[in-house]
Amino acid sequence: MTSVPTADPAGTVLEGRYRVDGLLARGGMSVVHRGSDLRLDRPVAIKILDRGLAADPAFVRRFEREARAAARLAHPGVVAVHDQGRDADGTVFLVLELVEGGTLRDVLRDQGRLHPAAALTVIEQVVTALQVAHDRGLVHRDVKPENVLVGTDGSVKVADFGLVAAAWETDAPDPTDPEGSGEMVLGTVAYLAPEQVTDGRADARSDLYAAGIVLFELLTGVPPHGGDDAVAVARRHVHHDVPPPSSVVGGIPRALDRLVLAATQRDPDARLADAGAFMAAVRGVRMDADLPYHPVPPPPRRTGTAGSRPLRGTRLLDLDGAPHEAPRTGRRPWDDEPWDDEPEDADDEGDDLTDEPDDDHGPGPDSGPTVRRRPDGAVDDVDVAIERIERRRARSRSRRLLGAWLLLVSIATVAAGAAGWGLGLPG
């Protein structure tokens, strides 16, 4: 896939109506700018498509059709589509509702992971939005934290309906061309359902699988599958079950484990049947685990330039060759072992990924350790991440050694006192 052009469109006016302002996010298929509707005098978000996609007439036709379908999704949990158009210079764009805040990825970067009750609040709103789309025959195909917007008031909205569907159809397998695009998979590998990997098939249950993966990450701070590259991650979705979140972070209610496992069964027929069943299961978890409504933490305020932390977008993946824009991934201790096998030194292994939160970040949720990882196992700066992990391990070991030393000193003091008291007794 060609890359989004680097020329900065800020300051231009599309179709004489929409002024393009500062960059908000960058993905694999588009860039998103803050903008203004000059006719209605309101702020908007403007998604400008990749030039390569915009030059494909088949894609543009599908995109326009899907944009019209997405515009009919009038629901507070779905980012509203206001308009779509093509400027005289060939720029193809969408005009969207502007959500002041950030993405669920920003929240995860800031929080590490969420309290189980807050995680349920997020996934409830995501699945409710998916249900609205599924009822109208739309499948998202790329549910991930980057496509979930969180407002400054904690509201949750799902974005990118339509665009992903149009691109998916553009890259669908051609039965007359066995050597063609049949081996291409659209989506972000950390959240792909197995059927999307094996044959490019996606339906409502694929979205629910991705929602289950997002819930796992909200609870633990990491996605369930990692690997050396995007292909390895995708294959793990096909060949490995998603583990219970409580096997990664302690203190997670078993009812939440059961919900995640029900949503992420590798066989689509064994999954939760639809979004309604998912929501019913969420309500059951709230009652079983006594997890009442908990507000969603707002994303941190943006600092620096608006585009300083571009978002990773949907990408194409060649399962028989090198991945296109393959994400960086970090191997985790469980990636090559069955989940029910305990490491010989579970304490030391766990220190690699899970430990007490850094003192300068304040306390995390009241159950389990804080984990800070990107959705595909990548981190913002590998060297900094390794250094942070080593510091945590060193602090943890120092605390254990200090505790053992204090215990020995206490035992020796008590023993000496007892011996002195015994020697002082009359014969």
Last residue of a domain, one of 44, 64, 98: 98
Over the stretch 205-251, which tens digit does the pLDDT of each residue have?
999 999 999 999 999 999 999 888 888 999 999 999 999 999 999 99
Q: Which of 14-18, 121-125, 275-279, 412-416 has the lowest mean pLDDT?
A: 412-416
Co-location of 53 and 186 in the same domain:
no
Asked if 114 and 297 touch (Cβ cutoff 8 Å), the reply is yes
Q: If we measure between CA atoms, which residue out of 248, 206, 427 comes closest to residue 349?
A: 248
Does the pLDDT value for residue 346 go beyond 60?
no
387 domain-assigned:
no
Mean residue pLDDT of the chain comes to 76
Q: List the strands of the sheet with 156-158, edge to edge.
A: 101-103, 148-151, 156-158
Does the pLDDT value for residue 192 go beyond 80?
yes
405 domain-assigned:
no
Which residue has better confidence, 350 or 392? 392
Last residue of a domain, one of 76, 98, 120: 98
CATH of the domain at 224: 1.10.510.10
In this prediction, residues 270-285 reach a mean pLDDT of 96
Residue 411, amino acid = I
420 domain-assigned:
no
248 domain-assigned:
yes
C-alpha–C-alpha distance, residues 72 and 240, integer Å: 38
Co-location of 247 and 166 in the same domain:
yes
Co-location of 173 and 245 in the same domain:
yes
Q: Which of 50-64, 216-230, 277-291, 381-395 has the lowest mean pLDDT?
A: 381-395
In this prediction, residues 330-341 reach a mean pLDDT of 40
Helix 204-220 crosses helix 254-263 at what angle (to 10 degrees)?
Answer: 150
Which residue has better confidence, 184 or 112? 112
Q: If we measure between CA atoms, which residue out of 281, 250, 260 comes closest to residue 366?
A: 250
Residue 315: pLDDT band with limits 50, 70, 90 = very low
Our count of domains for the chain comes to: 2
Does the pLDDT value for residue 3 go beyond 80?
no
Q: pLDDT at position 383, please?
A: 39
423 domain-assigned:
no
Co-location of 111 and 6 in the same domain:
no
In this prediction, residues 388-398 reach a mean pLDDT of 54
C-alpha–C-alpha distance, residues 26 and 373, integer Å: 20
Co-location of 6 and 23 in the same domain:
yes
Over the stretch 76-118, which tens digit does the pLDDT of each residue have?
999 999 999 999 998 999 999 999 999 999 999 999 999 999 9
Q: Which of 93-107, 148-162, 204-218, 402-416 has the lowest mean pLDDT?
A: 402-416
Co-location of 323 and 350 in the same domain:
yes
Asked if 195 and 183 touch (Cβ cutoff 8 Å), the reply is no
Residue 117 is encoded by which pair of tokens? 């009750």
319 domain-assigned:
yes
Q: If we measure between CA atoms, which residue out of 156, 124, 37, 138 comes closest to residue 85?
A: 37
The neighbour count for residue 1, using CB atoms within 10 Å, is: 18
Q: pLDDT at position 61, please?
A: 85
Which residue has better confidence, 330 or 18? 18
Q: Is the dihedral of CA 347, 348, 349, 353 positive or negative?
A: positive
Co-location of 116 and 22 in the same domain:
no
Last residue of a domain, one of 98, 128, 159: 98
Q: Are strands 315-318 and 184-187 parallel, antiparallel or unpaired?
A: antiparallel
Distance between start and end Cα atoms, the chain: 94
415 domain-assigned:
no
In this prediction, residues 374-389 reach a mean pLDDT of 38
Which residue has better confidence, 75 or 390? 75
CATH of the domain at 81: 3.30.200.20
Co-location of 267 and 220 in the same domain:
yes
Asked if 218 and 123 touch (Cβ cutoff 8 Å), the reply is yes
Which residue has better confidence, 42 or 364? 42
Catalytic residue among 21, 106, 142, 335: 142
Structural domain harbouring 65: 1-98
Does the pLDDT value for residue 286 go beyond 60?
yes
Q: pLDDT at position 7, please?
A: 66
Q: pLDDT at position 87, please?
A: 93
Which residue has better confidence, 353 or 269? 269
Co-location of 132 and 108 in the same domain:
yes
391 domain-assigned:
no
Does the pLDDT value for residue 5 go beyond 50?
no
Residue 229 is encoded by which pair of tokens? 């590259």
C-alpha–C-alpha distance, residues 427 and 418, integer Å: 16
Does the pLDDT value for residue 259 go beyond 90?
yes
Q: pLDDT at position 318, please?
A: 46
Does the pLDDT value for residue 158 go beyond 60?
yes
Residue 276 is encoded by which pair of tokens? 């309604």
Residue 188: pLDDT band with limits 50, 70, 90 = confident
Co-location of 301 and 343 in the same domain:
yes
Q: pLDDT at position 399, please?
A: 64
Co-location of 172 and 258 in the same domain:
yes
Does the pLDDT value for residue 348 go beyond 50?
no
Co-location of 215 and 324 in the same domain:
yes
**Whether 21 is catalytic:** no
Residue 50: pLDDT band with limits 50, 70, 90 = confident
Q: Are strands 13-14 and 18-26 parallel, antiparallel or unpaired?
A: antiparallel
